[in-house]
Amino acid sequence: MAGDRIVGFLMYEAPQDDDEARIYRFMIDRVHQGQGYGKAALREVLDEIMRLGHISHVLICYEPGNEAARRLYRAAGFVEEGPDEDGEMIADLALRGEQP
């Protein structure tokens, strides 16, 4: 949200019986891209996931040709693992100083 406007959508899963969280959807409306909303939203969701206390890795997938997403996730510390069965890039973020 930016004031009373919806600028994006994010959905993740962090099962209590797993140490891995998965961000399934992370979208910023095209009109609002390039204004820092993605970076702020990613920082907020990662802080929220870390506060859960049981998560050591966060996974996210994105289209390999999406350079803006690649730069955003890389800057946050995500490391690319390679494409999934659908051709989307999988990236992993190790929390608490762990390595993927």
Cα 85 to Cα 24, 35, 57: the distances in Å are 15, 32, 20
pLDDT, residue 96, reads 72
How confident is the prediction along the chain (100 residues), in pLDDT tens digits per residue? Answer: 889 999 999 999 999 999 999 999 999 999 999 999 999 999 999 999 999 999 999 999 999 999 999 999 999 999 999 999 999 999 999 997 544 4
Cα 42 to Cα 17, 20, 45: the distances in Å are 23, 16, 5
pLDDT, residue 99, reads 43
In this prediction the pTM is: 0.90
Cα 92 to Cα 24, 56, 99: the distances in Å are 13, 10, 9
pLDDT, residue 100, reads 43
